[in-house]
Structure 1
Amino acid sequence: MLKKDARTLNAEGRELNDETPIRKADAKPVTNTSTAGATPMMQQFIEIKAANADSLLFYRMGDFYELFFEDAEIASRALGITLTKRGKHNGDDIPMCGVPVHAADDYLQRLIGLGHRVAVCEQMEDPAEAKKRGSKAVVKRDVIRLVTPGTITEEKLLDPAQANYLMALGRVKGDEDALALAWIDISTGVFRVTSTNAERALADILRVDPRELVVAEPVFHDEKLRPVFDVLGRVVNPQPATFFDSSSAESRLSRFYGVATLDGFGQFSRAELSAISGAVAYVEKTQVSERPPLGAPERDEEGKSLFIDPATRANLELARTLSGNRDGSLLKAMDRTVTGAGGRLLAERLMSPLTDPKEISARHDAVAFLLRESGLRGALRDNLKGVPDIARALSRLALNRGGPRDLGALAAGLSAAFEIARLAKSRELPAELSRAFSALGQLPANLAGHLERALADELPLLKRDGGFVRAGYHDELDEMRALRDESRRVIAGMERDLAAETCIRSLKIRHNNVLGYYIEVTAQNAGALTETPEAKARFIHRQTMANAMRFTTTELAELETRIANAADRANAIEQGVFDQLVAEVVGKSDALRSGAQALAELDVYAGLATLAEAENYCRPIVDDSLDFCIEGGRHPVVEQALRKQVADPFVANDCDLSPFNGEKNGAIWLLTGPNMGGKSTFLRQNALIAVMAQMGSFVPAREARLGVVDRLFSRVGASDDLARGRSTFMVEMVETAAILNQASERSLVILDEIGRGTSTFDGLSIAWAAVEYLHEKNRCRALFATHFHEMTALSEKLARLTNVTMRVKEFEGDVIFLHEVARGAADRSYGVQVARLAGLPAAVVERAREVLGELEQGETTGKAARLVDDLPLFNVQARATPVKQTTSDKLAEALSGINPDEMTPREALDALYRLKAEAETKA
């Protein structure tokens, strides 16, 4: 538990010895309070809180941030700190708790993690200045920033490998179907905008994965967008509609960027301007007087990235697993970056794969080059390991939240960047690498040299601690430091000189809090300092003691003043040097951001090349065709997990959904096979290979040729949405409807077990119709896994549909899963065998075999009635050891239920296979 420093007095005299318990709740206005009858300090708190009603107010009192009223109750429960009280208001005790200023970041991290927002209220003057206005005067205070999930910049509060986006949703009256999203990471300066609509808004929001989404109050209450906001929950933060006024957006942006016109930024729609304005207005509100170094807003063109709907993004576990963990996700399996910025860029590219084959190929060129040039890749990665987070250090400095170590990070980053740039000399580089290395060459070398000369080797965390300017950089600073640090030596030297001059060997220079520095001699030796006019003029009498006299001189008084002021003067000089260096750094922010982006790109490409080498990935061919041919494909996450857990290698499988037999559209594979046979893994791995290929990575396969996928849809697994009144089957149908309504011929669709959540015939009918619709209407490339074996008959009707199955082998009544995909159809799902492997009681398994045998013999209604009448549950023990039948008895019983005259050729073939399997099982 984080605790307060014991028994500390704050600037206003209150003893602070509290240990502070906190509940998860939203901040709310101070209730039942008014300034009437309140103490001056509490009046000030109430007024500041009223202006920041939606935030917890961290009210600075000396060395602590204090919270009062409901804020204190919320904070005490959320942080696990003691709730105490301070005085009364309106006859009631005032709840209070507090946190030390030096540990505030730790508490902020926990509050922000719980979704709270915090207003930081600082003392704007020295308490001594307040006392000059009267004994009851209150120190001036004001809110200097609002700390919210989407606007944090502190290193301790940020995940190095995860972007921290603030997003704004814009909309214009009269055109409510046209929406736009603008997102900012103030810790790095990224600023992007895109158009969207109500149908795809949630998908676009989740692609960016913002920590906070600000929307206009009227939009927040729009029922049409309510489903979006319900999914996002506390991420959504309604703000005044004036923030999103598109008509005043240009003037707001011009003022923020200090430009006369926005023409240089490009043309934006009114909805886009609304979103941009909302994002900038919220940044201005939360940062108060500080301005983060944001880049100009860049448009993400619609259709430039692969569209992945929310259900698909969750099902494929791209950045997080279904349980919310990073471990087990595709991102975790792919991440070989060595810098935080590289990790963030890798995640961004994974969440937004490209759709332009030329851009994709350019990224593959960069990975292929570094895969071949292992020496360059190794040197590049070794240098990147020492690169600090330049973009985030720059942002903290620009917002006046940085310290000497942030300047040191920039110096180290620039030094490493120049070393990396030298690695590329005399090399023919692919376009992506050439551009990145060129950006490093544009970094300001003079700034790097200046920082190197100015900064000491060991840097403090805070600038107020001093000692960060290198010796020899500033002459006056060196002099003040010498005087401050060597005052004893200077005083001792003056003492020796005066003793020699007066011939008083016992002369001493001493110090106390009343007289300061003084010269002390014994009473017997005092005459040498008082008998002559010259001595009287020089040695000024200060105090007579019983056995000694004390004097001072003009030189000693001046030296005392210089010594007393040396520390303050040295600190003031260092602060001035710091401010000058920060101004110089912020003035080069554009070049520094470009260099930081280039380093991140190099880290991503080197990491992907390292991944491809370690995991034996191949370079995919991505073009404008409708091909989808993967030879020897593997699941990138499962393969790595198997390698760690068991010795058996992952079984690779082919997948070919390319057009065939003169067809102009891609194929559909209807996948049947047993439970646990690997159907879901096979479905997912092909979708993940498409994502990896289009983000610019090599892929886990022997060979891959893919036509660009414009939209990726996945319906795998079962889940409900009880909060919105949706059963598992309803969720399944909603997601299936979204796929069938949106998929195009360029889309890739993977569907697993559609229709299993309802009755057998209902489910079969839905699955059957869905496959026909995909084939005839959507005409997309698709993988469709099912246990409805009747659907394999569709291959005779649908020209582009192919039956494939997961192969199994039966041995002595057991089933062995081969995890191989082969042409053909399965006639059974081996569910009973899987149930036995799962540990169901033997009686249940044996009874299930009997029921299955009965139900598989044609007319089910009568059979079911007879099975119910049999009441097997009252005779479990007897059935646990049934009388064995011979193979001929079993075959005779099975044949008795077959009427060849009433069977179609297909039914007769199925029956023959079933009899053969029964005979082999009992052989």
Structure 2
Amino acid sequence: MSDASAATSPAIIPPDATPMMAQYLEIKQAHPDCLLFYRMGDFYEMFFEDAVNAARTLDIALTKARPASWARTIPMCGVPVHSHESYLQRLIRQGFRVAICEQMEDPAEAKKRGSKSVVKRGVIRIVTPGTLTRTALLDSRAPTGWPAVAEAAGGLGLAWLELSTGELVVQPVERAGLGAALGRLDPQEVLVSEKLCQSPRPLRAVGRMEVPPDRAADSALRQRERAAAVAHPLRRRHAGRLRPVFPCRGGAAGALVAYVELTQKGRVPRLSPPRRLGPGAVMEIDAATRRNLELTRTLTGDRRGSLLATIDRTVTGAGARLLAAQLSAPLTNPAAIAKRPGHGCVRAERGAAARRPAARRCAAAPDLERALSRLTLGRGGPRDLAAVRDGLAQASAIRLLLNGHPGGPLPDGLGAVAKGLGEHSELVQQLTQALAPELPLLARDGGFIARDYSYALDELVTLRDESRRLIAGLQVKYAGIAGVPALKIKHNNVLGYHIEVTATHADKLMSEKGREVFMHRQTMANAVRFGTVELSDLERRISEAADKALAVELELFNDLVEEVTSRAEAIAQAAHALAALDVAASLAELAAERRYRRPVVDGSLAFSIKGGRHPVVEAVLDAGNAGPFVANDCDLASDNRLWLLTGPNMAGKSTFLRQNALIAVLAQMGSFVPAESAHIGVVDRLYSRVGAADDLARGRSTFMVEMVETAAILNQSGDRALVILDEIGRGTATFDGLSIAWACVEHLHDVNRCRALFATHYHELTMLAGKLPGLSCHTMRIKEWQGDVVFLHEVTAGAADRSYGIHVAKLAGLPGAVVGRAEEVLTILESGDQNAAIHRLAEDLPLFSAALKRPPPAPAASPAAPPEPSRVEEALKSIDPDSLTPRQALDELYRLRGLLS
């Protein structure tokens, strides 16, 4: 059999397999969809196809192994245990799932069973994108929501779990809204019920997301199906916890809990009581709109340059995650918005300038949420205990600051934060006394319990770390008893610790009195060696001290972990309160720094922005000292709810559209906004069709993507939606595009009746202002000066008379000949009589039936000055054809001919 054919693990265990390889194959067959990290000493080894895939992905050496008695070699590679997390992270990002297989016993125990016995091994956890908990594998400032989707009672149930913090949320979703809900969570992994897998239509929303390479997709699906099957008995176990919250959604939440138990091999972390998110509780923003508005990432996938990066002033990972979650899920209930650590809290914190810096310093606490999750999951270490200690200490300090520092009464939001911080002085004191100043990463490394915390441990540590001092003390003691100052205590591998004196002093230790203490062990030519019961006991205790000290430390560690987990709910509340305070202080800092104002958010249909600014563009301008951002108003009143915005390229239409959408998002997430004032009636759905992009992987051109996104907007928008559309119809022929844009404007006005900003280069659409009462025309102001165009970036009532596209082309560097020819063609096109056709179109949109004629080619060079008229031309000017008889006309013709000769 060739090496290539041996790359895949055998379906059955070959009879000639070594005990170790048989063990490996048995474990691998139980986890066929995972890369198996098989622990062998200081390395995690991989074999067969796992080795090939891992070596290619990690760019590490692929070697070959030939197990004893096998006639073939097999691929093999490995990664060091001490640095495996960096390799693990790369594999997870590439879509792999990894099963961690550890040695479950000491190799010495295996040897006791026989020379051919293999060390017991077992998979302790399965690592997937949604089950990451280790600090090294996580972005401390990014949420890791992990959703499950299940079908129940004719609808869909969505649940998501933040495994690293224990937060569990359930929500009913409509099938059409599944994509928007998943876009809000931006998950790396989605758990789908087996029933839903058999009905592909609802999964189109999942399919639009990035999926792992096909090498992992099929196996991931099989694993999810198994998780769904396992979930049924577990749902009964957790029914009292899940079903009262939302009866028909327990399936999705139950599957999540089951999948966690499956991947964590029976361990389930502390889970918060499930929180129900009702229908329509958050602003629905589909994935295309999130991408177009660059809420959390730019179009290139970077965090820098996004709205989140621009507004983030948080000082903790938990605060950054909460801010990101709130930005991704703006609320739709005005009362709930006011209670978020935003409007009211920001107002209070912005006014309390003396309190805010101190609050921000106190809020800079360790990541309590993730430390608590690791401890409850059994993966925590001494540093996680220290994080709990320091975080709770910070919580106490900030609670005193909020309750006692001057700065006015606390608003409801901050009052709830102060209450949630709680009282934890007893636990903080215990952890302070228990933990050493310097802590190892892992508990098994020992040395993390402070002195004087445990007498038994101190005694063992003394034996372990101060054996020389103890031996020196015994040496002084025995020298005094024997009366031999030269007595020494020595050590060798044969006798261990022993007493040695010269032969001349041996009689003193062998005397009757000496034999009560000393026992003769060995006589040599120049020295005699002795032992004592006390010395033998000390030697035994020293040799056992290290193991016993570690065992005692681990026992104390478990006690401390139990103490922490018994108070998990109170600690989790304090962690959330610290994160909320960090967000409130961050938004207050942002408002003070960037001159943001508190918006009015209510249940009306108003949308009135005075002096609105684009938060990201303004920040970039300020950072580059490029001048102030030009602010603009926007008032989408009921009789003015649809703005038709015209104007040239580069004048700022897209910026104006986006800034109003971003102001709505900021207002409903609980932040102040970049405007002089803002009154926003709650927006339940936000749609944006701005910019051009293709989807070649699914066979969609730029125009097709544009039409798909536009169709979603027109099919789903209601009167509470906010829609921004830019250049609809520009991706096809002129008359086709104008027809589509015309019909879209009418549909938005008559059917959707939503608040909308519609930017276009089709000036013909301005004719609709006389037909649609809710439509008003606005344009971007420009100024022409000495042949150049100056973009003022101001929005004003009216319509643009032309696009100035050729001017933009000139600025872009098109050759002068091309620019000149374009101007000539434009002059010819604009000379045609099209007004009648446009007026007919405004009354009833017919199909365009006329096409512009192509102008003749322009001459190669500019024509010379006209010559003087010839004699023939002068004669022709003097002839009046209408007064000539046929005979006279014939005579004139002969005369003209004669003039040519």
Q: TM-score, normalised by structure 1?
A: 0.87
More divergent stretch after superposition (857-866 vs 71-80): 857-866
Residue in 1 aligned with 2:278?
301
Q: Say if 1:230 and 1:254 are closer, same or farther in 2 by CA, change over 3 A.
A: closer
Q: Is the 8 A contact 2:243 2:250 kept in 1?
A: no
SS of equivalent residue, structure 1 residue 92: coil
Q: Say if 1:47 and 1:84 are closer, same or farther in 2 by CA, change over 3 A.
A: same
Alignment of 1:703 onto 2:677: yes
Alignment of 1:401 onto 2:379: yes
SS of equivalent residue, structure 1 residue 543: strand
> How far does residue 84 in structure 1 lie from its aligned partner after superposition?
1.4
Counterpart AA for 1:292: P
Q: Say if 1:407 and 1:794 are closer, same or farther in 2 by CA, change over 3 A.
A: same
Matches of 1:603 and 1:489, distance apart in 2 = 51
Residue in 2 aligned with 1:642?
621
Alignment of 1:428 onto 2:409: yes
Residue 59 of structure 1, aligned match among 38, 41, 52: 38
> How far does residue 31 in structure 1 lie from its aligned partner after superposition?
4.2
Matches of 1:619 and 1:535, distance apart in 2 = 91
Q: Is the 8 A contact 1:170 1:244 kept in 2?
A: no
Alignment of 1:870 onto 2:844: no
Counterpart AA for 1:431: D
Counterpart AA for 1:750: I
Residue in 1 aligned with 2:605?
626
SS of equivalent residue, structure 2 residue 432: helix
Residue in 2 aligned with 1:351?
328
SS of equivalent residue, structure 1 residue 150: helix
SS of equivalent residue, structure 1 residue 610: helix
Q: Is the 8 A contact 1:166 1:213 kept in 2?
A: yes
More divergent stretch after superposition (756-765 vs 546-555): 546-555
Counterpart AA for 1:651: V
Residue 162 of structure 1, aligned match among 142, 150, 155: 142
Alignment of 1:198 onto 2:163: no
| Coordinate RMSD, CA, aligned | 2.2
More divergent stretch after superposition (455-464 vs 43-52): 455-464
Matches of 2:506 and 2:241, distance apart in 1 = 83
Residue deviations 1:147-181 (CA, integer Å, cap 9, x gap): 11100110111111111122111124xx5x51111
SS of equivalent residue, structure 1 residue 34: coil
More divergent stretch after superposition (627-636 vs 715-724): 715-724
SS of equivalent residue, structure 1 residue 358: helix
SS of equivalent residue, structure 2 residue 130: coil
Alignment of 1:94 onto 2:81: no
> How far does residue 253 in structure 1 lie from its aligned partner after superposition?
4.3
Residue in 2 aligned with 1:36?
15
Q: Is the 8 A contact 1:243 1:277 kept in 2?
A: no
> How far does residue 292 in structure 1 lie from its aligned partner after superposition?
0.6
Matches of 2:865 and 2:771, distance apart in 1 = 43
> How far does residue 111 in structure 1 lie from its aligned partner after superposition?
1.4
Residue deviations 1:40-93 (CA, integer Å, cap 9, x gap): 000000000010111111111111111111111111121122111221485321
SS of equivalent residue, structure 2 residue 497: strand
Residue in 2 aligned with 1:415?
393
Matches of 1:672 and 1:684, distance apart in 2 = 15
Matches of 1:614 and 1:652, distance apart in 2 = 17
Q: Say if 1:147 and 1:241 are closer, same or farther in 2 by CA, change over 3 A.
A: closer
Matches of 1:395 and 1:557, distance apart in 2 = 46
Counterpart AA for 1:740: L
Alignment of 1:80 onto 2:59: yes
Residue in 2 aligned with 1:372?
351
Q: Is the 8 A contact 1:659 1:667 kept in 2?
A: yes
Alignment of 1:448 onto 2:428: yes
Residue in 1 aligned with 2:507?
527
Residue in 2 aligned with 1:783?
757
Residue in 2 aligned with 1:810?
784
Matches of 1:412 and 1:679, distance apart in 2 = 50
Alignment of 1:462 onto 2:442: yes
Alignment of 1:266 onto 2:244: yes
Residue in 1 aligned with 2:228?
244
Residue in 2 aligned with 1:663?
none
Residue in 2 aligned with 1:552?
531
SS of equivalent residue, structure 1 residue 819: strand
Residue in 2 aligned with 1:772?
746
Q: Is the 8 A contact 1:182 1:192 kept in 2?
A: yes
> How far does residue 718 in structure 1 lie from its aligned partner after superposition?
1.1
Matches of 2:243 and 2:418, distance apart in 1 = 25
Matches of 1:734 and 1:253, distance apart in 2 = 39
1:449-598 superposed matches below 5 A = 449-530=429-510, 532-536=511-515, 538-598=517-577
> How far does residue 428 in structure 1 lie from its aligned partner after superposition?
2.0
Q: Say if 1:190 and 1:304 are closer, same or farther in 2 by CA, change over 3 A.
A: same
Alignment of 1:48 onto 2:22: no
Q: Is the 8 A contact 2:596 2:673 kept in 1?
A: yes
> How far does residue 449 in structure 1 lie from its aligned partner after superposition?
1.5
Indicate the percent of aligned positions where both proteins have the same amino acid: 55
Matches of 1:863 and 1:857, distance apart in 2 = 14
Matches of 2:513 and 2:823, distance apart in 1 = 123
SS of equivalent residue, structure 1 residue 424: helix
Residue in 2 aligned with 1:326?
303
More divergent stretch after superposition (542-551 vs 83-92): 83-92
Matches of 1:696 and 1:828, distance apart in 2 = 41
Alignment of 1:317 onto 2:304: no
Q: Is the 8 A contact 2:242 2:254 kept in 1?
A: no
Matched residue count: 833
Counterpart AA for 1:405: R
Matches of 1:725 and 1:389, distance apart in 2 = 44
Residue 111 of structure 1, aligned match among 91, 102, 113: 91
Matches of 1:832 and 1:450, distance apart in 2 = 75
> How far does residue 827 in structure 1 lie from its aligned partner after superposition?
1.6
More divergent stretch after superposition (584-593 vs 289-298): 289-298
Residue deviations 1:728-771 (CA, integer Å, cap 9, x gap): 11111111111111111111111111111111111111111111
> How far does residue 642 in structure 1 lie from its aligned partner after superposition?
1.1
Residue in 2 aligned with 1:658?
637
Matches of 2:425 and 2:865, distance apart in 1 = 88
1:824-903 superposed matches below 5 A = 824-858=798-832, 866-867=854-855, 869-870=856-857, 875=860, 878=861
> How far does residue 263 in structure 1 lie from its aligned partner after superposition?
6.1
> How far does residue 534 in structure 1 lie from its aligned partner after superposition?
4.7
> How far does residue 34 in structure 1 lie from its aligned partner after superposition?
2.5
Alignment of 1:717 onto 2:686: no
> How far does residue 533 in structure 1 lie from its aligned partner after superposition?
4.4
More divergent stretch after superposition (304-313 vs 462-471): 462-471
Counterpart AA for 2:414: L
Matches of 2:255 and 2:337, distance apart in 1 = 33
Alignment of 1:439 onto 2:420: yes
Q: Is the 8 A contact 1:245 1:277 kept in 2?
A: no
SS of equivalent residue, structure 1 residue 806: strand
SS of equivalent residue, structure 1 residue 754: coil
Residue in 1 aligned with 2:775?
801
SS of equivalent residue, structure 2 residue 131: coil
Residue deviations 1:309-340 (CA, integer Å, cap 9, x gap): 22111111111111111111111111111111
Residue in 1 aligned with 2:129?
149
Q: Is the 8 A contact 2:717 2:752 kept in 1?
A: yes
Residue 671 of structure 1, aligned match among 645, 653, 657: 645
Q: Say if 1:274 and 1:693 are closer, same or farther in 2 by CA, change over 3 A.
A: same
Q: TM-score, normalised by structure 2?
A: 0.89
More divergent stretch after superposition (215-224 vs 854-863): 854-863
Matches of 2:758 and 2:571, distance apart in 1 = 49
Q: Is the 8 A contact 1:29 1:53 kept in 2?
A: no
Matches of 2:309 and 2:127, distance apart in 1 = 29
> How far does residue 242 in structure 1 lie from its aligned partner after superposition?
5.8
Q: Is the 8 A contact 1:855 1:863 kept in 2?
A: no
Give the ranges of 4+ consecutive aligned residues of structure 1 lying more than 4 Å apart after TM superposition: 859-866, 882-885
Counterpart AA for 1:411: R
Residue in 1 aligned with 2:882?
none
Matches of 1:129 and 1:883, distance apart in 2 = 106
SS of equivalent residue, structure 1 residue 504: coil
Residue in 1 aligned with 2:728?
754
> How far does residue 524 in structure 1 lie from its aligned partner after superposition?
3.1
Residue in 2 aligned with 1:209?
186
1:597-616 superposed matches below 5 A = 597-616=576-595
Q: Say if 1:265 and 1:409 are closer, same or farther in 2 by CA, change over 3 A.
A: farther
